[in-house]
Amino acid sequence: MFIIPSYSLAVLFCVITMLCWGSWANTQKLAAGTWRFELFYWDYVVGILLLSLLFAFTFGSTGEGGRAFLPDVRQADGRNLGSAIVGGVIFNAANILLGAAISIAGMSVAFPVGIGLALVIGVIVNYLDLPVGNAGLLFGGVALIIVAILLNAGAYRRTASSNQGVSTRGLLLSVVAGVLMGFFYRYVAASMFPDFSVPEPGKLSPYTAVVFFALGIFLSNFLFNTLLMYRPFVGPPVRYSAYFRGSFRDHGMGVLGGMIWCVGMSFSIIASDKAGPAISYGLGQGATVVAALWGIYVWHEFRNAPKGVGMLLNIMLLCYVVGLGLIIAAR
């Protein structure tokens, strides 16, 4: 299987993760005019599963290092397969709430609050499991991320209080999504052998772990998304029959979004071998900055904000950038 040979290349993979995780929601925004989020999300989940299998049978099955995908599955311990699947279930519960928050409050709120909170929790949880990196720099970066979250939440609350059409429900969904999102990664990391060049009996390769993680997302979606379709946060209930009336573009946007996100997830997992799970996860969650830039400057989600909110948003972005820089330097 393909293994990253150096820390510098691992950081590059984390940057690609950041771009993918920060940009996939554009496909949701593009589909929103004609396609309900609940229907979009079915295709999104399918896209994640397809891309995970593609990587497993290509990058995960070639090369001299590690262990190829199919032999890895055959020798895997059920507890480790279960751990990766549980990670997928937790992620899906969080991500479906995040998607709902995006549809209500936009990318520039859902990501800084939800993913920012997930970053804080995820870095702490992963560092406690595997303490890699300078703790002072790592947690200094986390502190700045917390400041950025508070600034973004304050900017959104000021906008909501001055515009009757803006709901604070999106902010609440972002917080709940962020809390859940902060815990999924540790289950995936726990299922893998830590040194990808030295396979351990019963443990999973990163490619196998991502496939079973994606399987957990796919299976749990029959529960989570069905509940959301019948009890949506916004709008009337959605029937399954509506899914089959979607156009090729509607379905294509969802699949593309899922594939973009899964490229980021796969690269983050692969990079964790050289960067460490805390740094790999934390840097990948810099997607917050990317998504906020899309939301603020491309989709103009704060265009009706009162005076002073723009300054808060700029300071928020600065805190994120400096905080992420400290997380990178922690290695």
* DSSP letter string, 20-57: HHHHTHHHHHHHTTTS-HHHHHHHHHHHHHHHHHHHHH
Lowest mean pLDDT among 154-168, 194-208, 317-331: 154-168
What mean pLDDT comes out for the span 103-127? 85
pTM: 0.89
What mean pLDDT comes out for the span 10-23? 91
Domain count, the chain: 1
pLDDT at 214: 98
Tokens of residue 328, six digits: 């990178």
CB 182 within 8 A of CB 125: yes
Residue 78: CB atoms within 10 A of its CB come to 8
Strand partners, 192: 204
Enclosing H/E stretch for 241? helix 240-243
pLDDT at 126: 74
Q: Please determine, for residue 331, whether its predicted confidence score (pLDDT) is greater than 70.
A: no
Nearest Cα residue to 177 out of 104, 87, 89, 97: 97
Based on the number of CB atoms within 10 Å of its own CB, is 248 exposed (0-12), middle (13-18) or buried (19 or more)? exposed
| Residue 21 located in a structural domain | yes
Q: Please determine, for residue 165, whether its predicted confidence score (pLDDT) is greater than 70.
A: no
CB 278 within 8 A of CB 186: no
Report CA dihedral (39, 42, 47, 50) to the nearest 10 degrees.
Answer: -150
pLDDT at 36: 95
pLDDT at 81: 98
Which three-class secondary structure state does DSSP give residue 79?
helix
Q: How many residues does the chain have?
A: 331
Tokens of residue 284, six digits: 């990948």
Nearest Cα residue to 152 out of 297, 296, 322: 296
**How far is residue 255's CA from residue 141's CA, in Å, rounded to a whole number?**
34
Signed CA dihedral, 50, 55, 58, 64: sign only:
negative
Nearest Cα residue to 60 out of 212, 279, 280, 215: 212
**How far is residue 6's CA from residue 99's CA, in Å, rounded to a whole number?**
34
| Residue 22 located in a structural domain | yes
| Residue 25 located in a structural domain | yes
**How far is residue 21's CA from residue 277's CA, in Å, rounded to a whole number?**
17
Give the amino acid at 291: A
Exposed e or buried b for every residue in 209-229, given b needs 16+ CB within 10 A? bbbbbbbbbbebbeebbeebb
Q: Please determine, for residue 131, whether its predicted confidence score (pLDDT) is greater than 80.
A: yes
pLDDT at 47: 98
What mean pLDDT comes out for the span 121-130? 80
Higher pLDDT: 75 or 170? It is 75
**How far is residue 210's CA from residue 262's CA, in Å, rounded to a whole number?**
9
Which three-class secondary structure state does DSSP give residue 192?
strand
Give the amino acid at 195: D
* Band of pLDDT at residue 132, cut at 50, 70 and 90: confident
What mean pLDDT comes out for the span 73-94? 97
| Residue 1 located in a structural domain | no
| Residue 2 located in a structural domain | no
pLDDT at 65: 87
% of the chain exceeding 70 in pLDDT: 97
> What's the pLDDT tens digit per position in 275-326?
877 677 667 777 888 998 999 999 988 888 888 898 999 999 999 889 888 8
What mean pLDDT comes out for the span 174-189? 91
| Residue 263 located in a structural domain | yes
CB 320 within 8 A of CB 52: no
pLDDT at 161: 73
> What's the pLDDT tens digit per position in 200-218?
999 999 999 999 999 999 9
Range of the domain at 125: 7-329
> What's the pLDDT tens digit per position in 17-70?
999 999 999 999 999 888 999 999 999 999 999 999 999 999 999 988 899 999
